[in-house]
Every structure is written in structure tokens, then in C-alpha cells.
Structure 1
């Protein structure tokens, strides 16, 4: 009786562990942007697996601007032929407000695996989903990439730049030598 009970407990623990592991595989990954506005991402998937991976990032008011990303896929040697081991079929940006995600118009170039939203991103929470399939039913596949954000200067920055250039022009004008013409 105890043996049957323990085997059922062990079976349910294994099932629970499997469910938790599969839930963890579908979890969102967070990208941290460095001081230069660049973050890295990537995942390895099992052979033959179809996937939809989600990567999240946030922009502060200082980093509101244009975002763009690129990715590279792993290469596998299948019967002496080097082939990409992952086929990325689409990448789409989204904004996230209050837990609700709204897709953003995204340009995706599957030949070079580059992607970017067609509009500038304001401060807030964003992400993108990568969908595809592992090309081999025998070997795992992987991809990695980077996301870069180029901030757009605030109007006050342009005003300071204009004042600085104006002061330089005024100073240069005052220093002209009238004797030379």
C-alpha cells in the first residue's frame, strides 16, 4: 500500500516538475540596456521545436527614441553541409501598459534578421516576440542578437546647442582683423 502511494506521489511530483519546466521555458526574458543603450538576448531550443519567445525592456525618459535589433542563428553541420539550425519567421514589437500588450507596427527583414518599430518609442515598457522553428529534428538550435536604442535629444538640448553655436559665431565675428579686409 505504501509503495503504491509513494509511486503516485513521485509520479505527481515528476508531472508537476515537467509542467513547471515547460512554463519556465515560455517565460518572458528581460533585456537590460547598458549605458550605451544596447542589450543582448538569445535562447537555445530543443530539436524540432516551434517557439515564440518574448523579450521585455523598459525605456526611461532619457532613453526614449528609436529602437532596432538584429539577430544571428546558430549553424549546424548536417551530413557535411552547414545549415542554419533555427528559422526565425517573424519578430514583432509591442508596448505594455497595465499588463496589456499592444502590437506595434514593426519592420522585419528575415534575410538579414533585422527588425525595428516604425515609430519612435516613448518612455515606458516594451518588448518583442520572436517566432520560429528549430530546423533540425535531431539537434538543438539557437539564436542570439542585440537590441539598441538611440535616444532623441530633448528640445532644450537643441536650444542649448543653438545658443552655443550663436556665441561661437559672435566671438568669431568680433575677432576679425579689419586690417586684412
Structure 2
């Protein structure tokens, strides 16, 4: 009976020790837009195996925009040599989830992308990167986001009008050339 009690105490202590090392190391940072693009990332040094992060990179879109973003982490190898595991990439606004990302590789390189199928309205957003630290070695990830302003309807109208004028001039020149021949 004593040996069972000692074994249970040892298992409990081991589980408690591993739980004590897992911590939430999340942070929120402003993504500095230069033009309509921002590069972001994070170095994860001196953290413990099992630490979790849900990092947020905030930005503001001043007008109607299409959105494209991505994140990548590279480790020396898969399995026990992998230093970091990116588990999610999502875009949020004040109302909640706007877009979920797509995973294109989970191994030596974790690759996630996200893009809008339609324009995002002007407002405040944050791109969320989630993951887990898998090794006590240094790890990092890097990403980008790009906002592409959507042209206003008047811009399309001017473009179509310009193409119409070019077509009219080309037809007129052809008619003049045919009449002189």
C-alpha cells in the first residue's frame, strides 16, 4: 500500500511539474503598416517546452480593402527537432472572427496563409497567430499582411469610358484608312 501511495505521489508531482512549465506567453503588438504592407514576427527565446502563445498584431484599414497575409516558422527538422508549432492564423475585428487561415505545411516549416474573398470594410482588425513552443531552443516566426485598396465604382467608370474612347478612335482611324485606300 505504501508503494502505491508513493507511486501516486510521484506521478502527481511529475504532472504538476510539467503543468507548472506550460505558460501562456501571448502578446499584442501593433503591426506598423508602411504603405499598405506590414511585416511582423516574434522571437521565442528562453521559453519552456509546452508554453502556448496566441499573439495578436493589430492594424487599422482606412478604406475598403482586400486582405492577404501569411506566417511561417522554420525549424531544423520535424518531430523532436522542431522548435515551434504554429497551430492557427486568423483575422478578427470587434465583432469576432472575420477569416480563418489555411495550413500549407506542418513539419520543418509551418506555413499558413489567409486572404479575403471580398473586401474588408474600414476599421480596426487584428491578425492572430497561435502556437506552441516545442523545444527549449530558440524559435521564431515571421509574417506579412497586405491591404489592397478596392477601387471605387467611379474609377471603373472612368476606365471603361477611356477604353470606349480608345475603341472609338481606333475604329475611326480604320474607317479613314479604308476610305483612302
TM-score, length-scaled by structure 1:
0.71
Partner of 2:100: 106
Q: CA deviation at 1:120?
A: 2.4
Alignment of 1:101-140 (within 5 A): 101-111=95-105, 112-136=111-135, 138-140=136-138
The alpha carbon displacement at 1:67 in A equals: 1.0
What is the CA-CA distance between 1:32 and the residue it aligns to? 2.1
Cα RMSD for the two superposed structures? 2.7
How far 1:154 sits from its partner (Å)?
1.0
Superposition pairs of residues 3-152 of structure 1, within 5 angstroms = 26-35=26-35, 37-45=36-44, 46-48=47-49, 49-61=51-63, 64-76=64-76, 83-96=81-94, 101-111=95-105, 112-136=111-135, 138-152=136-150
Deviation of 1:118 (Å): 4.7
Partner deviation per Cα, 1:11-50 (whole Å, 9 max, x = no partner): xxxxxxxxxxx99x64421112222x22111012224221
The whole-number CA distance in structure 1 between the counterparts of 2:180 and 2:137 is 78
CA positional deviation for 1:150: 2.1
- C-alpha displacement at 1:53, in angstroms? 0.3
Shift in CA distance, 157/83, structure 1 to aligned 2, threshold 3 Å: farther
> For the residues of structure 1 that align with 2:98 and 2:58, how far apart are their CA atoms?
14
Partner SS state of residue 113, structure 1: strand
Q: Of 143, 152, 155, which residue of structure 1 is paired with 2:153? A: 155
- How many Å apart are 1:127 and its aligned residue? 0.9
* Map of 2:3 onto structure 1: none
Q: What is the CA distance between 1:115 and its match in structure 2?
A: 2.0
Partner Cα distance (1:174, 1:50) in 2: 69
CA deviation digits over 1:48-85, x for unaligned, max 9?
22111011111112xx222121112132479xx99442
Residues 117 and 170 (structure 1), Cα distance of their counterparts in 2 relative to 1, 3 Å cut = closer
TM-score scaled to structure 2, two decimals? 0.71
1:109-152 Cα offsets, whole Å, 9 max, x none, are 2523212345421111111211111121x213210111112222
**Separation in 2 of the partners of 1:34 and 1:110?**
27
Give the length in aligned residue pairs: 149
Q: Which runs of 4+ in 1 moved over 6 A?
A: none
